[in-house]
Structure 1
Amino acid sequence: MDEGYSWLRLLIDSSFASRLLVDRAANIIFANRAAETLFGYGPDELTGKPIDVLFASPQDRDLAVPRRYFPGRRIRGDHEEIRGCTKQGRELILRIGTSPIETVAASYLSVTIFDITQYKQTERELLFKGRQLEEAKRRVSKFALLAANDLRERLQRIGASVSEAKSALAAGDMVAAAAANDRVLDSTSNAQRLVDALLEYSLQASAILNLEFIHLRSEVDSVLNTLSETTGDAGLKIENTVPADLRIKADKPMFMRLLRDLVETSMSLRRNASGIIISATRNKEKNGILLGIGGKEAGRGEDNNGFREAGARMRLEEGLAAVKSICEQHGWTVEAGAPPEQGGFQVSIPVNGPPLAAP
């Protein structure tokens, strides 16, 4: 070892940052304690090892310390991702600074390593949430446009019905006036529901997903427990037939809100159903799960699933804005008037849903 080695070792060892001294062959001559701790090695355990052991792949190693030439003074990892690897196999994201050191006897490379894993993770999460917010704005704008058109139509109906009522009153036709007044009240109620739906949709669409794997049957039981008093007063039995092994990727509070809204709506729409069944089946064709909420006993004729299908569709369009928003955010679809074996509402849940964390 040349005469400057002791001085070089002192320079590397005194650094608070993780620092290595590397020779021309890219072998580690010395690593300070910060570097050993970062990569999970004991004292002097890195000495003599090739610098390759600190990187997740040869490509990452070449980004940091090229094989073809001795790098000059530079920093890498700001505009490209360099992945490191600890002794225990845990991956890190690194920022690498290199600085050549020339002595009379040999050339060395000082390598300074910064662990920016947490910083990169935070950056990704912020970008991911930013994209979610942009998508939420887009959904709200689209829904607001549709709602505005529907609201304009309802206001026109109110205006027309008011004119009819005035004309009927002027003519002394109380029956026609009463009918026109009923239409005004009905259109006003529909308009109010539409405005409420828009406000609810706007709040729900801007929420950030907190995805996790949840056991479907357990979450259904939790929702039913919160509704037990309501269903008991109504004399209604709700049966959970969801298989115990099914799991889905979802935001748990949002999923519970969706299921509660659908169950409560199904309760209000039931005509001759003695109860409600909540079921879930695997859909191999769509590579997903079908979640159904509907009547326990089939009726006859148009009510063959124990529900008023037209009423379910109307509620889905006007009164279940939160349900639609939650489905859109998760990449699911919700339909009304589903087949008898599924019930009044059906939610299609793909197996490959949104990522659990920011990409």
Structure 2
Amino acid sequence: MRDENEMLRLAFEACPAAMLLIDGAGRIELANGESERMFGFGPSELTGQSVENLLPANLRAAHRHHRAGFAAAPAKRQMGTGRDLVALRRDGSEFFIEVGLTPIDTALGAKVVAFAIDVGARRDADHALRRALGELETANGNLARFAYVASHDIQEPLRKISAFADILNAAMTKDDLDEARYAADVMASSARHARRLVADLLAYARAAHQSPAVEPVSIKAALERALEALSLTIAETKAEIAWTGEDFSVEADRPQLHQLLQNILSNALKYHKSNLPPQVTLHLEPGKAENHLTIADRGIGFASADAEAIFEPFRRLHGRGDYPGTGIGLAICKTVAQRHGWRLSAISTPTVGSAFEIVFPVAAGAGRGAEL
């Protein structure tokens, strides 16, 4: 008997997984060194404890029920096909384990050999892989839609340039200066639009693929810089800009943050009512877990059904003749926000106005002391 016990002990210690011998009452009779390391106990400290002590308190009653069911109909469960359980370390921290159970009959009664491995790292890797696959699938879908729409929008000014080049040649042949000037003006306008389109496409590509170089940035300073860049438009439209709330700092790629803010502010200035100057309110709201920035206007607004569609590339709710632009600005904003882990959303009511909200999760150790 002593020889058998010694062999059993050596087999337990040789196992690279955590290994426990549990009696019919759920008491641990034997634990190897790996189980003591995994659960944070010292040598022999697990012996005599209830196996439920290795589970969070809220799971112990259910586990006792499952253990009773297993005892009534014991069956071997292979490692890798067992149950994922949340286990409890001695220090109170929780982690995921995978278990395998083998019932054995001994001269002292029925017992269970339990094998356990920490699968936390594997679960994290699986979740990361599934998340990456989901993002890849979304990116591929966006790329296909983007390529189709981009090719259509780029072809439009090129078709105009080609068509009006023929008109220009015909006008020059007839010495029709008015027709020639008209054709040249259309070609120049189309060329400018194509150039803006290409520039916005490059900006969108950079926002989607360039890793942000983050640093602490004052949101108020970033807004002031964006407003300075739009100062001519503000002056021409006699726009009214109001501020509320307190400044806070965000971890951001400074140029990308400025571009995001400038694009949203530009929209607020552009889509104003024809009989009123633009009215824009900037509300800054610092918080413990999240900081909020809301850019609200009293412009023409849009239907709530379009609240997601407006962030799609080339999605325009109005004709270019009414409101110029390429339809990429808000798509760039959404991409910048996603790359930084921010949440960007919009709510709007037609003829009443729109509000764009950006939620910035607060980084550990971040405070209100922003760097300019």
Task: Report the CA distance between 1:200 and its aligned residue.
Answer: 3.7
Provide the rounded CA distance (Å) in 1 between the counterparts of 2:321 and 2:360.
Answer: 30
Correspondence for 2:194 among 173, 191, 196: 191
1:323 to 2:327 alignment: no
- Asked if the contact 2:87/2:95 (under 8 Å) is kept, the reply is yes
1:168 to 2:171 alignment: yes
Paired residue type of 1:332: L
Provide the rounded CA distance (Å) in 1 between the counterparts of 2:159 and 2:103.
Answer: 79
Correspondence for 1:72 among 76, 83, 104: 76
Within-5 A mapping of 1:1-359: 4-56=4-56, 57-58=59-60, 62=66, 66-72=70-76, 74-76=78-80, 81-205=84-208, 219-221=218-220, 223-224=222-223, 241=243, 243-244=245-246, 252-253=252-253, 256-262=257-263, 265=266, 278-280=282-284, 291-292=294-295, 314-315=324-325, 317-319=327-329, 321-326=331-336, 332-333=344-345, 346-349=355-358
Task: Report the CA distance between 1:348 and its aligned residue.
Answer: 3.6
Q: What is residue 356 of structure 1 aligned with on the other side?
A: none
TM-score, with length taken from structure 1: 0.67
Provide the rounded CA distance (Å) in 1 between the counterparts of 2:328 and 2:347.
Answer: 13
SS of corresponding position for 1:66: helix
- Asked if the contact 1:280/1:292 (under 8 Å) is kept, the reply is no
Task: Report the CA distance between 1:29 and its aligned residue.
Answer: 0.7
Task: Report the CA distance between 1:34 and its aligned residue.
Answer: 2.4
Provide the rounded CA distance (Å) in 1 between the counterparts of 2:112 and 2:163.
Answer: 85
Task: Report the CA distance between 1:131 and its aligned residue.
Answer: 0.6
Per-residue CA deviation, residues 170-196 of structure 1 (Å, 9 max, x unaligned), is 221223212211211111221232234
Per-residue CA deviation, residues 76-95 of structure 1 (Å, 9 max, x unaligned), is 457x5322222333221112
Provide the rounded CA distance (Å) in 2 between the counterparts of 1:311 and 1:259.
Answer: 24
Provide the rounded CA distance (Å) in 2 between the counterparts of 1:134 and 1:38.
Answer: 37
Paired residue type of 1:161: F
- Asked if the contact 1:33/1:43 (under 8 Å) is kept, the reply is yes
- Asked if the contact 1:94/1:114 (under 8 Å) is kept, the reply is yes
Provide the rounded CA distance (Å) in 1 between the counterparts of 2:37 and 2:155.
Answer: 67
Provide the rounded CA distance (Å) in 2 between the counterparts of 1:232 and 1:164.
Answer: 39
Distance of aligned partners of 1:318 and 1:51 in 2 relative to their CA distance in 1, 3 Å threshold:
closer
How many residues end up aligned between the 2 structures? 322
- Asked if the contact 2:246/2:284 (under 8 Å) is kept, the reply is no
- Asked if the contact 2:158/2:190 (under 8 Å) is kept, the reply is yes
- Asked if the contact 2:278/2:297 (under 8 Å) is kept, the reply is no
Provide the rounded CA distance (Å) in 1 between the counterparts of 2:93 and 2:323.
Answer: 51
Return 5+ residue gaps in structure 2 as ranges.
300-319, 362-372
Distance of aligned partners of 1:313 and 1:176 in 2 relative to their CA distance in 1, 3 Å threshold:
closer
- Asked if the contact 1:209/1:251 (under 8 Å) is kept, the reply is no
Provide the rounded CA distance (Å) in 1 between the counterparts of 2:95 and 2:179.
Answer: 77
- Asked if the contact 1:136/1:206 (under 8 Å) is kept, the reply is no
Task: Report the CA distance between 1:36 and its aligned residue.
Answer: 2.1
- Asked if the contact 1:28/1:48 (under 8 Å) is kept, the reply is yes
Task: Report the CA distance between 1:17 and its aligned residue.
Answer: 2.9
Provide the rounded CA distance (Å) in 2 between the counterparts of 1:12 and 1:185.
Answer: 82
Provide the rounded CA distance (Å) in 2 between the counterparts of 1:131 and 1:267.
Answer: 33
Distance of aligned partners of 1:336 and 1:22 in 2 relative to their CA distance in 1, 3 Å threshold:
closer
SS of corresponding position for 1:44: coil
TM-score, with length taken from structure 2: 0.65
Distance of aligned partners of 1:230 and 1:203 in 2 relative to their CA distance in 1, 3 Å threshold:
closer
Distance of aligned partners of 1:98 and 1:336 in 2 relative to their CA distance in 1, 3 Å threshold:
closer
Distance of aligned partners of 1:263 and 1:152 in 2 relative to their CA distance in 1, 3 Å threshold:
closer
Task: Report the CA distance between 1:229 and its aligned residue.
Answer: 8.7
Provide the rounded CA distance (Å) in 1 between the counterparts of 2:337 and 2:323.
Answer: 16
Paired residue type of 1:259: L
Provide the rounded CA distance (Å) in 2 between the counterparts of 1:94 and 1:121.
Answer: 13
Return 5+ residue gaps in structure 1 as ranges.
283-287, 299-309, 353-359
- Asked if the contact 2:20/2:114 (under 8 Å) is kept, the reply is yes
Provide the rounded CA distance (Å) in 2 between the counterparts of 1:336 and 1:158.
Answer: 37
